[in-house]
């Protein structure tokens, strides 16, 4: 990872605005838009934008991006007005204008169609791979069990088990599960490491402006789409709904890059990514409205009305294509889609509250222990990603096969647990009264084992989501509660407690408890609420169960917030050290920004430097930009020049005509109200001194976002969230006194929280050391056995290295890391 330190100042004119105006939104790009833009100017802007697109682990300056877009719009309006005035418009021009206006809708339509098609294919492949572990269809090897036995409830003669001997089937199940995980982990490691995991945490940061080159690329899309069915079919306690968001956003990014309108504009690309995320959730749950709300509630930090409409339309197209493909041949968009026609009773609220409490506790438990597992994985298992995923799949298969509810795919188990008993398939005697006790035991065992498997599996290096595993946990627990309540009712049907029940129809429907438990667990792990209610409603289509769902989710929210705000996606952002200011938390630090800002800033004087001096600064990767001051003594701020723009200007001049290392540099900003602005760095020659000078005024931003040193830190953090500058310069009476970045705010926040909640991790580290020692001993034992059986021809012990990477979550990444920064343990946050 490249370590850089950014001096991210912006520029202000020599005639500074009043100091009371703390935030300036004007850009030199907007200033230039008042004049005609010659072709070289457009070319310069595009070339700089192309360079910036490949700067990995940097942040987008939304202020400058918005200013560029406004300048483009003004230029288009000016040209259109001139053409209309001269009567030079033609039908081709009018057609082009209409196409440009409709291009956004065309793009989201294409993206939605591709997402829906991809989702349908992945559903079909996943079902076949999941069933092939237990047997095959004699009439068509490509058919899964449901299609092979179409119309049959409990199997058919055409579906053939691998053997009539149970242990052989058990062994084949383990072999297939291990093989699928091995192939998925291998493809991810060697072809697209970014395809591992869920991707939601990173997408939140990317939509907020963090650049991760390749994370949304074509290779990641292909490997994610290929490996996701393999990871699900391997039986690992991971889901496809989170990765569905990732491959959907990858699809949106890849397709939008084919259009210059989106390739050169980050803010418009952000709209497409938000819409793609909504479509990803829409096809994952068959819930287009829920997808839009998920994008609003969880993904996007900026969600205007236009983005909402495009997200809705993209999700609508994606679900329509998925419905047309009809992958399950049942008319359902997802396998566990159900319909309830019975009403609920007020006395059941007590049990709904129990489900809500369980959801909150489940989320807190999994988040806490999964972060510890992630810490252990980062510290000890980084080199063994393929081996870890393979062994996890093998162990999961060994544990899961004996349990009827763990053996089958999680979506299939939820379909079974959600259904009503009357008129539905009776899987493993789930609806038989004489098997209730063992069903409850089996479901509770499945709940406990699934929780453990989710904790250790989420985060391994295969495509892995946590939505469906969490819903499967909640469904198994909820169904067990429903069976218990049903048994209580049948034991005392005349009790006053059950007086609301009608005598001529079933009083308790255990499937609804499974459904509500799934919603509670999903809300507890992700800390999303409104979108969960809508998603669960769209899954059932039952208006009568909106209120119970709201009760369960409300209780889950109350319990979850007792253990801290932010779901597992937010915690993974903190753990990974991404520069993301969460708007879910409110802070009251009681300090001014002067306590947090950097005071040691490398600035450039207006005059006095030569090309050689500038190139020496550019050779230092620590700097991403430089403030422009009148001179080193006065420190009066006059502007800011970015590293990329400065490097581009020098390279362009050297390529076109050459330049002497001793050429003087001028960073004088143009005067306010000037009638012309140079569109490229200009070279002038002094005949007396026989030296040349280079004017960089074209590349200077004369209006950086600035703040007073006494401005509260909370307000500065809000400025970063609302307007999205890379940095905010701190000035006092026009003089540069420092700068502050998102990273500085986060470092201070983490240190304050660590001081308020001191935690001794010594025992946890000792436990990790002991666990690693046990794993190493087991590894050496296995190696010795393999070596013995192979006669010494195969040796595995050389794979275990003594060196280990750090267990920390990692430094905060925003493209300006200091090599000597002291780290803060992010996993210790509560």
* Mean of pLDDT values over 231-238: 90
Q: Is the dihedral of CA 797, 798, 803, 806 positive or negative?
A: negative
Instruction: Out of 15-24, 41-50, 71-80, 145-154, pick the least confident.
Output: 15-24
**What is the rounded CA–CA span in Å between residue 652 and residue 278?**
42
Q: Is the dihedral of CA 529, 534, 535, 536 positive or negative?
A: positive
- For residue 676, the model assigns a pLDDT of 37
Instruction: Out of 69-83, 404-418, 459-473, 544-558, pick the least confident.
Output: 69-83
**What is the rounded CA–CA span in Å between residue 238 and residue 410?**
9
* Mean of pLDDT values over 699-712: 87
* Mean of pLDDT values over 476-484: 94
Entry pTM: 0.82
- For residue 260, the model assigns a pLDDT of 80
Q: Kindly tell me if the per-residue pLDDT of 54 is higher than 80.
A: no
Q: Kindly tell me if the per-residue pLDDT of 423 is higher than 80.
A: no
* Mean of pLDDT values over 218-236: 92
Contacts of residue 703, Cβ cutoff 8 Å, sequence gap at least 6 = 10, 11, 12, 13, 24, 25, 26, 27, 28
The residue among 656, 664, 660, 558 whose CA lies nearest residue 610 is: 664
101-139 pLDDT, tens digit per residue, is 888 899 999 999 999 999 999 988 998 998 888 888 888
> What values do phi and psi take at 793, rounded to 5?
-80, -25
Contacts of residue 674, Cβ cutoff 8 Å, sequence gap at least 6 = none
- For residue 14, the model assigns a pLDDT of 38
**What is the rounded CA–CA span in Å between residue 115 and residue 320?**
11
- For residue 37, the model assigns a pLDDT of 40
- Beta bridge partners, 345, equal none
**What is the rounded CA–CA span in Å between residue 99 and residue 195?**
35
More confident call, 347 vs 99:
347
How far from 781 is each of 769, 777, 784, 785, 796, CA to CA, in Å? 18, 6, 5, 6, 10
- For residue 47, the model assigns a pLDDT of 60
pLDDT confidence bin for 584, thresholds 50/70/90? confident
- For residue 751, the model assigns a pLDDT of 85
Identify which of 451-460, 495-504, 634-643 has the greatest average pLDDT: 451-460
* Mean of pLDDT values over 366-379: 91
- Long-range pairs for 529-532 at CB < 8 Å and ≥24 separation? 529/297, 529/553, 529/554, 529/556, 529/557, 530/293, 530/297, 531/281, 531/290, 531/293, 531/294, 531/296, 531/297, 531/298, 532/290
Contacts of residue 441, Cβ cutoff 8 Å, sequence gap at least 6 = none
What percentage of the chain exceeds 90 in pLDDT?
A: 27
Secondary structure (3-state) at 137 = strand
Burial class (CB in 10 A: 0-12, 13-18, 19+), 797: middle
Angle at 829 between CA 824 and CA 830, to 5 degrees: 165
Q: Kindly tell me if the per-residue pLDDT of 739 is higher than 50.
A: yes
- For residue 755, the model assigns a pLDDT of 79
* Mean of pLDDT values over 79-83: 65
In terms of DSSP H, where are the helices of 458-544? 467-491, 510-526, 530-540
> What values do phi and psi take at 694, rounded to 5?
-115, 125
- For residue 230, the model assigns a pLDDT of 93
Q: Kindly tell me if the per-residue pLDDT of 782 is higher than 50.
A: yes
- Specify whether the CB–CB gap between 592 and 709 falls below 8 A: yes
The residue among 285, 286, 226, 230 whose CA lies nearest residue 250 is: 226
Q: Kindly tell me if the per-residue pLDDT of 394 is higher than 70.
A: yes
* Mean of pLDDT values over 442-449: 94
* Mean of pLDDT values over 56-80: 70
**What is the rounded CA–CA span in Å between residue 724 and residue 579?**
12
466-479 pLDDT, tens digit per residue, is 999 999 999 999 99
**What is the rounded CA–CA span in Å between residue 556 and residue 519?**
9
> What values do phi and psi take at 216, rounded to 5?
-115, 25
**What is the rounded CA–CA span in Å between residue 541 and residue 549?**
13
Q: What is the dihedral of CA 318, 130, 404, 322, to 10 degrees?
A: 10
485-525 pLDDT, tens digit per residue, is 999 988 888 888 888 888 777 888 888 999 999 999 999 99
More confident call, 335 vs 468:
468
* Mean of pLDDT values over 410-414: 86
Q: Kindly tell me if the per-residue pLDDT of 632 is higher than 60.
A: yes
Instruction: Out of 27-36, 64-73, 581-590, pick the least confident.
Output: 27-36
- For residue 555, the model assigns a pLDDT of 96
**What is the rounded CA–CA span in Å between residue 24 and residue 729?**
11
Contacts of residue 507, Cβ cutoff 8 Å, sequence gap at least 6 = 345, 486, 489, 493, 498, 501
- For residue 821, the model assigns a pLDDT of 36
Residue 670 DSSP code: P
- For residue 87, the model assigns a pLDDT of 58
- For residue 507, the model assigns a pLDDT of 85
What secondary structure, in 3-state letters, does 58-86 show?
CECCHHHHHHHHHHHHHHHHHHHHHHHHH
Give the number of other CB atoms < 10 A from CB of residue 687: 6
What percentage of the chain exceeds 70 in pLDDT?
A: 82
**What is the rounded CA–CA span in Å between residue 66 and residue 61?**
9
* Mean of pLDDT values over 570-578: 86
603-622 pLDDT, tens digit per residue, is 888 888 888 888 888 887 77
More confident call, 373 vs 754:
373
Q: Kindly tell me if the per-residue pLDDT of 16 is higher than 70.
A: no
652-680 pLDDT, tens digit per residue, is 888 877 778 888 888 888 766 543 333 44
- For residue 815, the model assigns a pLDDT of 38
Block residue for tokens 């809000």: 718
Paired tokens of 166: 């149970």
Instruction: Out of 191-200, 472-481, 645-654, pick the least confident.
Output: 645-654
> What values do phi and psi take at 97, rounded to 5?
-65, -45
């Amino acid at each position: 990872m490249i370590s850089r330190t950014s001096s991210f100042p912006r520029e202000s004119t020599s005639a500074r605005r009043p100091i009371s105006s703390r935030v300036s939104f004007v850009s030199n790009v907007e200033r230039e838009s008042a004049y005609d833009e010659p072709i070289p100017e457009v070319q310069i802007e595009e070339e700089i934008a192309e360079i910036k697109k490949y700067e990995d682990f940097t942040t987008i300056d939304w202020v400058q991006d918005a200013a560029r877009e406004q300048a483009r719009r003004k230029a288009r309006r000016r040209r259109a007005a001139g053409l209309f005035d001269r009567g030079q418009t033609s039908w081709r021009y009018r057609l082009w204008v209409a196409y440009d206006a409709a291009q956004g809708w065309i793009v989201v339509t294409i993206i939605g169609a591709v997402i829906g098609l991809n989702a349908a294919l992945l559903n079909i492949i996943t079902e076949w791979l999941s069933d092939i572990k237990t047997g095959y269809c004699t009439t068509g090897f490509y058919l899964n069990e449901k299609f092979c036995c179409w119309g049959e409830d409990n199997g058919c003669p055409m579906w053939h088990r691998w053997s009539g001997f149970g242990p052989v089937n058990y062994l084949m199940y383990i072999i297939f599960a291990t093989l699928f995980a091995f192939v998925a982990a291998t493809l991810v490691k060697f072809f697209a490491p970014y395809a591992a995991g869920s991707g939601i945490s990173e997408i939140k940061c990317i939509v907020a402006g963090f650049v991760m080159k390749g994370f949304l690329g074509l290779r990641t899309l292909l490997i994610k789409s290929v490996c996701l069915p393999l990871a699900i079919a391997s039986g690992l306690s991971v889901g496809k709904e989170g990765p569905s968001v990732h491959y959907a956003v990858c699809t949106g990014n890849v397709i939008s890059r084919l259009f210059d309108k989106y390739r050169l504009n980050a803010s418009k690309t952000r709209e497409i990514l938000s819409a793609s995320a909504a479509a990803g959730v829409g096809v994952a749950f068959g819930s287009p409205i829920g997808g839009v709300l998920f994008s609003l509630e969880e993904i996007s930090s900026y969600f205007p009305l236009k983005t909402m409409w495009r997200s809705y339309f993209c999700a609508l197209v994606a679900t329509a294509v998925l419905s047309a493909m009809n992958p399950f041949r049942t008319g359902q968009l997802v396998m566990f889609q159900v319909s309830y026609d019975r009403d609920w009773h007020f006395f059941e609220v007590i049990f709904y509250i129990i489900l809500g409490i369980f959801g909150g506790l489940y989320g807190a438990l999994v988040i806490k222990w999964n972060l510890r597992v992630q810490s252990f994985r980062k510290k000890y298992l980084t080199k063994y990603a393929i081996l870890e995923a393979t062994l996890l799949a093998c162990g999961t298969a060994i544990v899961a096969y004996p349990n009827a509810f763990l053996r089958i795919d999680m979506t299939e188990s939820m379909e079974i647990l959600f259904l009503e008993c009357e008129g539905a398939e009776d899987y493993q005697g789930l609806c038989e009264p004489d098997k209730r006790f063992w069903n409850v035991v089996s479901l509770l065992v499945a709940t406990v084992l699934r929780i453990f498997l989710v904790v250790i599996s989420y985060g391994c290096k295969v495509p892995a989501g946590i939505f469906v595993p969490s819903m499967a946990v909640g469904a198994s627990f909820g169904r067990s509660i429903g069976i218990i309540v049903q048994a209580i009712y049948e034991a005392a049907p005349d009790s006053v407690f059950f007086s609301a029940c009608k005598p001529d129809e079933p009083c308790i429907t255990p499937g609804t408890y499974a459904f509500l438990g799934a919603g509670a667990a999903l809300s507890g792990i992700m800390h999303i609420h409104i979108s969960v209610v809508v998603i669960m409603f769209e899954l059932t289509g039952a208006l009568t169960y909106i209120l119970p769902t709201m009760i369960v989710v409300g209780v889950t929210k109350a319990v979850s917030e007792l253990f801290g705000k932010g779901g597992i996606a937010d915690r993974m952002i903190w753990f990974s050290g991404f520069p993301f200011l969460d708007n879910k938390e409110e802070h009251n630090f009681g300090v001014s920004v002067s306590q947090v800002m950097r005071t040691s800033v490398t600035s450039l004087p207006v005059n006095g430097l030569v090309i050689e001096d500038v190139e020496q600064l550019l050779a230092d990767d620590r700097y991403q930009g430089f403030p422009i001051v009148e001179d080193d003594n006065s420190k009066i701020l006059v502007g800011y020049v970015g590293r990329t723009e400065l490097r581009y200007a020098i390279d362009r001049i050297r390529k076109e005509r050459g330049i002497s290392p001793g050429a003087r540099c001028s960073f004088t900003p143009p005067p306010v109200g000037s009638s012309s602005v140079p569109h490229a760095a200009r070279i002038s020659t002094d005949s007396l001194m026989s030296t040349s000078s280079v004017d960089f005024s074209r590349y200077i931003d004369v209006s950086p976002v600035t703040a007073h040193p006494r401005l509260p830190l909370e307000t500065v953090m809000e400025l970063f969230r609302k307007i999205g500058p890379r940095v905010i310069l701190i000035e006092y009476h026009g003089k540069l006194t420092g700068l502050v970045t998102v990273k500085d705010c986060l470092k201070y926040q983490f240190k304050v929280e660590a001081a308020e909640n001191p935690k001794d991790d010594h025992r946890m580290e000792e436990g990790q050391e002991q666990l690693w020692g046990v794993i190493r001993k087991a590894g050496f034992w296995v190696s010795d056995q393999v070596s013995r059986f192979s006669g010494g021809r195969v040796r595995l012990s050389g794979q275990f290295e003594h060196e280990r990477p750090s267990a920390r979550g990692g430094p905060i990444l925003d493209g300006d890391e200091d090599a000597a920064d002291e780290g803060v343990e992010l996993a210790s946050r509560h």
